[in-house]
Amino acid sequence: MSETFQVRAAERGDVGTILAMIRELAEYEELTHLCTATEDQLAAELFGPDAAAEALVAVAGGEAVGYAIFFHNFSTFLGRRGLYLEDLYVRPSHRHQGCGRALLLAVARIAAERRCARFEWMALDWNTPAIDFYEKLGATQMREWRLFRATGDALDALAKLK
């Protein structure tokens, strides 16, 4: 049975639930060893004076059952900012009911309202349900691009190079 839900801007009181869902996502992606965020960190980054990101939550029956976290990036080629979707997650009990679609479309609308040049996100290459979902909505996979990352000790070493 499909339950009704609403998508709204996250509030400070949602931080604990959002963090719990982030941990659920990390478990699904088999990346729990990388999930070190705390409630205080998440609250500061979403609601602090120098907030780095924004969040939406999908609520059903008075409970947050999904979330989207996003932030602005910038395209030098287009000379305009874009919107990057860091996470889109819906609890398994609420999947296949339109909740993920509603969250994704809500972020897309924010990007359009803010006149962003593009809206981007990533999916793990083995996550075919997500890839199929995104492609069904008209998103294009950027196969020619490769993500590079430096974290922890590697980031510290890179920052010290002369």
Residue of 67, 84, 89, 134 marked active site: 134
d(CA 72, CA 116): 9
Annotated catalytic, 134? Answer: yes
By annotation, the residues acting in catalysis are 134
